[in-house]
Every structure is written in C-alpha cells, then in structure tokens.
Amino acid sequence: MLEKINAIKEEINAAVATNLQEVEELRIKYLSKKGSISQLMVDFRTVPAEMKRELGQKINELKNYATEKIASLKEGFATAADSDAEAIDLTRTATPYELGTRHPLSLVKNEMLRIFAGMGFTIAEGPEIEDDWHVFESLNFPPDHPARDMQDTFFISRDPKDILLRTHTSSVQTRVMEKTQPPIRIVCPGRVYRNEAISARAHCFFHQVEGLYIDKNVSFADLKQVLLGFARQMFGPETKIRLRPSYFPFTEPSAEMDISCDICGGKGCAFCKGTGWVEILGCGMVDPNVLDACGIDSKVYSGYAFGMGIERITNLKYKVKDLRMFSENDVRFLREFESAR
C-alpha cells in the first residue's frame, strides 16, 4: 500500500495540464469518488490494525497534496480565461451613455421659432461675417450716420472698414429682400457680435431673432397683433404689452415693446424696478428707404420688422441673472434645464 501511495504521489507531482479541461480530468482521476485516492480509502479498510495509523496519515497527506496541486493548476488558467473573449459577460448592462441637455438658449430659440411658425413665418439665415452694405448701409445707416454708434462693431477689414461681424440679424432682412419679391414673412435666428466689455449684463456675442413681414397693406396694427400673440404664447395668456416710441434707422415709425412683469404681474417689484413693465424688443414699420434699397417698390409694398435678443427672453423666462452663464458651459447650470428638454 505504501508503494501505491508513493507511486500516486510521484504521478501527481509530475502531472501537467494545458487547459482547464485537463485539470478537471486530473481531478476526476485522483479525487472523484472513483478516483485512485478514493480507491486507497477503500483498500484502507483491510489494512492490519497496527498499520492503520501510519497509512491513514499518508493517505490524508496524499489527498491534501492532490487537492492543492489541482487547485494551483486551476488558478493558472482562471486568470488567463478572464481575459479570454469567452469571459465577457453578455448579460451585464452596457456602459451608461450620458445624454446631454439642450442649451437654454436653444430651448428658447426653438420655442420662439415654433410660435412664429404657427403664425406663418418661415426661417431665414445669413452669414455672421458680413459687409457694411447688409449690416448698415442698406438698412438706412448712411456712412458717418451717428446711429452706427448704437452698435460697437468688430471690423475684420481695416481699410476700408467694410467687412465686419454682424451686429444684428437685421442684415438677413436685406439678404432675403434682395432675392425675393413680397409677400415675405420670415424670422431670422442667429448669433451677433458687439465690441462690448463682458459683464453680467453685456457680452461680446449674443443671439437675436429678427422678424420681417412685407406685403401690400401691412399696417402697424398687424405688427401689434403678431407681437401680442407672441408675448402671450411665450409668457402666458395674461401677459399685457405696451409699445413706446423709439428710434431705429431702418423703421419709421419705430417702437420698443414692453411686457407686463411676470414676476409681480404688473404691480411693480425689484425685477421690473417698480414699473410693472420689462422691455423685450424693438420694432417698427420698415422704412421705405430700406425697401427701395433692396429692390422692393415702396409705393406698392409696406411691411413691419421686429428684433429681439434670445438671451433677454431667456432671462425673463428662466430668471438667469448673469449673461455669462450662457457661454461658460458649467454643467451644473446646464443640467438645470434637463426637464425642459
């Protein structure tokens, strides 16, 4: 029996395996119920009593030795198997893909365009790098006209200063009127640039939506009704509007529009500085000079235009006090608009 034990030990000592399957075969060969070590246990019953102690110990040692050897062989393959393609767990949930949120300015722009689309306006766009004609001259700002100082311009060309970053989306009016005869009913969203010091209330770039309607017999009453409809859809059905006389070179008469403060409902609060009104846009009847400059007969057609800042509307809708928040891309700020997506 002792010989048998020693022989098995030798065998196990020399055993090698090239894969998990072979390790399992070794386990079956030595340690399973019908394995050779279990067989020793059976033979052990017939061993004379005086030898039982010694042989019993040897068999136990052999069994422990075999168990350890097989475990260590198995370990070697376990790590290799993990990196195997077959070790990929297909039932695991996929790596989460983080969804972004729409930028508040896009949310508000989309809402504005949706409202105007409902009133028959289509979308027109133009370039951000513009020439003097489209931004100023065609819009009734003659050279050296003081109204050019209303907008601090970034010039791209120096001499002459005729290529520039558009200071307003009114330039798209000209581009469309030059190419299209009335009826024209468009809204023009886009980014504009002004050479201003950056602060909570001003930025060197911001966004506008321009509106233009040209047809026969268009009146100021039409303008007022469209703007009232817009204000009520944007800020709620109780919203009131008021128009104050103003000046823009491209409209005559010109006005600025206020809406009733939606924080205090018009009673007067810190937000509206006690007036009950907040300004949201500029507007007016298109100056006949502008129509003629763009090839539209001002004796036949008339029209209105309006322009507003998307940041301004967003400030009012979401109470964002600092303009800089819109361009810093702080995700804590952007995430606040998740539900509005």
Cβ contacts of residue 252 below 8 Å, gap of 6+? 284, 285, 287, 288
Minimum distance from residue 180 beta carbon to ligand DAH (Å): 17
Query: E strands of the chain, at which residues?
Result: 122-123, 129-131, 163-165, 184-193, 205-215, 241-248, 251-260, 277-286, 302-309
- CA triplet 92, 94, 98: central angle to 5 degrees? 150
Minimum distance from residue 265 beta carbon to ligand DAH (Å): 27
Taking CB atoms, the residue at the shortest distance from ligand DAH is 307
Minimum distance from residue 291 beta carbon to ligand DAH (Å): 13
Minimum distance from residue 289 beta carbon to ligand DAH (Å): 14
Half-sphere exposure of 28 (CA within 13 A, CB side): 6
Minimum distance from residue 171 beta carbon to ligand DAH (Å): 9
Q: Which is nearer to ligand DAH, 257 or 261 (CB)?
A: 257
Q: Which is nearer to ligand DAH, 35 or 282 (CB)?
A: 282
Q: Which is nearer to ligand DAH, 169 or 239 (CB)?
A: 169
Q: Which is nearer to ligand DAH, 177 or 305 (CB)?
A: 305
Q: Which is nearer to ligand DAH, 35 or 284 (CB)?
A: 284
Helices (H), 104-180: 104-118, 132-135, 170-179
Minimum distance from residue 208 beta carbon to ligand DAH (Å): 6
Taking phi first (over 0 means left), then psi (-120 to 50 degrees means alpha), and beta for anything else, what does residue 54 get? alpha
Q: Which is nearer to ligand DAH, 140 or 251 (CB)?
A: 251
Cβ contacts of residue 31 below 8 Å, gap of 6+? 37, 38, 63, 66, 67, 70
Q: Is the dihedral of CA 113, 115, 117, 119 positive or negative?
A: negative
List residues binding ligand DAH (CB under 6 A).
168, 170, 210, 248, 251, 282-284, 305-307
Minimum distance from residue 256 beta carbon to ligand DAH (Å): 8
Alpha-carbon distance 84 to 168, whole Å? 61
Alpha-carbon distance 341 to 337, whole Å? 7
Q: Which is nearer to ligand DAH, 278 or 283 (CB)?
A: 283
